[in-house]
Chains A and B, each alone.
Chain A
Amino acid sequence: MEVILQSLALGLLQGGVYALVACGLTLIYGVMKVVNFAHAEFLTLGMYLAIAAWQLAGVSPYVSVVFIFALACALGAAAQALVIRPALKHPQINQMLITIGVSTMLIGAMQLAWGPNNRVLNLAWSGATFELGGVRLSYVRAIAFLAAVLIAAGFWLFLKHTRTGMAMRAASQNPVAARLMGVSVQRVNLITFGVGTGLAGLAGALIAPAFFVNPTFGTDYFILAAFVIVVLGTMGNFVGALLGGLIIGVAEGLGGLLLGPALRQMVSLALFVVVLLVLPRGLFRGKVT
């Protein structure tokens, strides 16, 4: 029983981070209908930048996270303006391969900068844990989870109540109508891509103290789970991505317990097949908001 609770809690914590990564991916898809295969690389980059800030300047990841978010936003926006926007009218397969090209470049650049081997951010209390209702949790993961949930919730409020947020939702529901209402779709695209990748970078900074990182970390551990989450939560649906993140996190936690750690990743992939069979249009049956 205790083991089950423990796996459940760990899965939930992981799920919060998944949710943060996936909501950026789903936003980008919702607004631009582009599947961003380079998304997880921004997470990896966030981790590396957090490590660099800590090792070079002694800045805690919980401080540098703000700058990392801003930098990832800027990088994402630049990528959107340079290579995604010109391809928006091209066939979808081209767009996907372009994001794969961006992903490859980023992996190569990170390997050039930090080498192919594992790196780690060792805070004094990286391994510290606390007990909550008979479950042992690490501070780092708990903070990452809380921050992820808070930021995602804050972002949801932003989408609901600000003009830019509403423009983003309008553009994802119907780009033509949004343009007719005076929304600059081009500007919304830029902001969405920037913020979406920014959230991935932010998630990376938050989890940096808890994982080893190497250039393909994001591709190896996050991108497929993020895909499953956005499909489960209906592609383009923000709340769906948040719910989906938590569900997949918990499912992986329990699946890992049941099947052993080697098959942990099989769980989300197997869920993908099941989701397609049972809920081919996701939890929200194709509705974006």
Chain B
Amino acid sequence: MPRRFLSDWRNWQLAVAMAFVVAAGAAGAFAGSDYFLQIMVLAAIYAAVGTAWTISGGLSGLLLLGYISFFGLGAYVDGLLYTKFGVNPWLCMPIAFAAAGLLAWLIALLTLRFGLSEDYFAMFTVALSQVLKYILLNWEFAGRATGVYLTVVKDDFATLSFVDRRPYLYIALALLAIVILVTWAVQRSRLGYYLAAVRENDQAAEALGIDSAKVKTKAIVLSGALAGMIGAFYTQFATFIDPKQVFSLATNFEMLLGPVLGGRLSIVGPVFGASFLKPLQDLLRGWLGGEADALYLVLYGAVLTVGILVLPKGVAAYVEAWHRRRYGNP
């Protein structure tokens, strides 16, 4: 690849992240056990969600703390449309994309109206994810606490169900590639520059004629919609979802750990962060025992706390500094 293309930090990240996705796919082709494949698919899902989050939580500077609402909504859109109405899962993904985008738009409408303070916004999004959980826990049609089950009897590409885990990995990686491309495109677009302006100084951006509420709304809608699409895929992969699982606050924060420790404003940060941290979590959890995971919680909490204290800007900040030296950009 030409040096000129790579000398742009965003392009360099795109190239590295895409190479990683391809390498992960190749590694998956040789992976022996289902357990290992399972971990890889989950890592790809977390990486995709984490990268999609950076569009709102990173680039726009919004404190979108309760991000799992969109993922969970997407998961339920797929679960209900597929099992109750027989809608094709491939069609469910764009529908979940639209539904989660709509939810994000409503949130933006409700919260950005008064230039709501960032902390209120953060707490509101967390509370909302729990509202959705309680609604689904009490909704007869959606199976209440039992949730939704999918039955997979044979490999069928048309209905996105496979007995083998391998096809799920390829689809998850394809989704991850889409999210990476979209994030890269946003960063390079006019919207990306607007977002940077709004993030760094809201009022100065407004003075230059940027409608900050509108720009933030675009970011949260795109970010939420992508998470909804990944949620729909998750249902097909997991074959079983319930409200406590897909609207879990613990999962929510696990999903944000990759981008925050990796680098909220980068592409490689969330991709590599999640790809490293999610398997680490799964292995730790498996090693320390499933039910009584108290020790895991202590360790995980400590890693989270210390990690964020030591790396407030994420690992990507250091990589970016190296990139700047390597390619001689000012």
A215 — which chain B residues lie within 8 A by C-beta? 294
Interface stretch (choices A87-95, A126-134, A141-149)? A87-95
Q: Tell whether A269 pairs with B134 under 8 Å between CB atoms, given A96-B65, A235-B119.
A: yes
Q: In the complex, what's the smallest C-beta–C-beta distance from A127 to chain B, in angstroms?
A: 29
Q: Tell whether A101 pairs with B123 under 8 Å between CB atoms, given A94-B260, A111-B297.
A: no
A86 lies within 8 A of B302 (CB)? no
B295 lies within 8 A of A269 (CB)? no
A116 — which chain B residues lie within 8 A by C-beta? 291-292, 294
- Residue of B at shortest CB range from A83? B305
A97 lies within 8 A of B57 (CB)? no
Q: Is A178 at the interface (CB under 8 A from chain B)?
A: no
- Residue of B at shortest CB range from A271? B127
A92 lies within 8 A of B119 (CB)? yes
B312 lies within 8 A of A87 (CB)? yes
Per-residue CB proximity of A184-225 to B under 8 Å, as 1/0? 000000000000000000000000000000010001000010
Q: Is B256 at the interface (CB under 8 A from chain A)?
A: yes
B123 — which chain A residues lie within 8 A by C-beta? 35, 227, 231
Q: Is A276 at the interface (CB under 8 A from chain B)?
A: yes
A112 lies within 8 A of B119 (CB)? no
Tell me the complex Cα distance, A69–B295, Å. 26
Tell me the complex Cα distance, A177–B258, Å. 38
Partner of B304, one of A87, A97, A224: A97
B118 lies within 8 A of A227 (CB)? no
Tell me the complex Cα distance, A83–B111, Å. 30
Partner of A111, one of B113, B250, B294, B299: B294
Tell me the complex Cα distance, A91–B57, Å. 11
Find residues 40-93 in chain B having any chain A CB closer than 8 Å to their own CB: 57, 63, 65
B137 — which chain A residues lie within 8 A by C-beta? 262
Q: Is the interface of A mostly helix, strand, loop or mixed?
A: helix
B127 lies within 8 A of A272 (CB)? yes
B122 lies within 8 A of A96 (CB)? yes
A101 lies within 8 A of B302 (CB)? yes
A92 lies within 8 A of B253 (CB)? no
A106 — which chain B residues lie within 8 A by C-beta? 301
B127 lies within 8 A of A227 (CB)? yes
Q: Is A64 at the interface (CB under 8 A from chain B)?
A: no
A97 lies within 8 A of B138 (CB)? no
Q: In the complex, what's the smallest C-beta–C-beta distance from B323 to chain A, in angstroms?
A: 22
B131 lies within 8 A of A105 (CB)? no
Tell me the complex Cα distance, A102–B298, Å. 9
Per-residue CB proximity of A74-111 to B under 8 Å, as 1/0? 00000000010011001111101110111111111101
Q: Is B130 at the interface (CB under 8 A from chain A)?
A: yes
Most A Cβ at <10 Å: residue of B113, B293, B300, B312: B312
Q: In the complex, what's the smallest C-beta–C-beta distance from B289 to chain A, in angstroms?
A: 12
For the A-B complex, the count of residue pairs with Cβ-Cβ distances under 8 Å equals 135
Q: Tell whether A112 pairs with B127 under 8 Å between CB atoms, given A35-B119, A265-B134.
A: no
B63 lies within 8 A of A98 (CB)? no
A103 lies within 8 A of B298 (CB)? no
Q: Is A63 at the interface (CB under 8 A from chain B)?
A: no
Per-residue CB proximity of B139-169 to A under 8 Å, as 1/0? 0000000000000000000000000000000
Q: How many B residues touch the partner, as a band?
A: 35 or more
Q: Is A29 at the interface (CB under 8 A from chain B)?
A: yes
- Residue of A at shortest CB range from B121? A276
B120 — which chain A residues lie within 8 A by C-beta? 231, 235, 276, 280
Find residues 195-234 in chain B having any chain A CB closer than 8 Å to their own CB: none
Q: How many A residues touch the partner, as a band?
A: 35 or more
- Residue of B at shortest CB range from A272? B127
Tell me the complex Cα distance, A100–B126, Å. 12
B131 lies within 8 A of A277 (CB)? no
A270 lies within 8 A of B131 (CB)? yes
Partner of A108, one of B134, B264, B298, B309: B298
B131 — which chain A residues lie within 8 A by C-beta? 266, 269-270, 272-273
A100 lies within 8 A of B253 (CB)? yes
- Residue of B at shortest CB range from A107? B297
B253 lies within 8 A of A228 (CB)? no
Q: Tell whether A101 pairs with B127 under 8 Å between CB atoms, given A93-B65, A108-B294, A277-B110.
A: no
Q: Tell whether A93 pairs with B124 under 8 Å between CB atoms, given A101-B308, A116-B294.
A: no
Q: In the complex, what's the smallest C-beta–C-beta distance from A61 to chain B, in angstroms?
A: 25
Q: In the complex, what's the smallest C-beta–C-beta distance from A251 to chain B, in angstroms?
A: 15
Partner of A92, one of B63, B114, B134: B63
Tell me the complex Cα distance, A273–B116, Å. 13
Q: Tell whether A94 pairs with B312 under 8 Å between CB atoms, given A35-B122, A104-B304.
A: yes
Q: In the complex, what's the smallest C-beta–C-beta distance from B55 to chain A, in angstroms?
A: 14
Q: In the complex, what's the smallest C-beta–C-beta distance from B77 to chain A, in angstroms?
A: 21
B308 lies within 8 A of A94 (CB)? yes
Q: Tell whether A276 pairs with B297 under 8 Å between CB atoms, given A227-B127, A266-B131, A266-B135.
A: no
The 7 residue pairs across chains A and B that have the minimum distance between CB atoms: A108-B297, A104-B301, A105-B301, A101-B305, A101-B304, A111-B294, A108-B298
Q: Can you list 19 A-B pairs, Cβ within 8 angstroms, ordered by A?
A: A92-B119, A93-B264, A97-B260, A97-B304, A100-B253, A102-B301, A104-B297, A104-B300, A104-B301, A105-B302, A224-B127, A227-B126, A228-B127, A266-B131, A266-B134, A269-B130, A269-B131, A272-B131, A280-B116
Binding site for A on B (CB under 8 A): 57, 63, 65, 110-111, 113-114, 116-120, 122-124, 126-128, 130-131, 134-135, 137-138, 249-250, 253, 256-257, 260, 264, 291-305, 308-309, 312
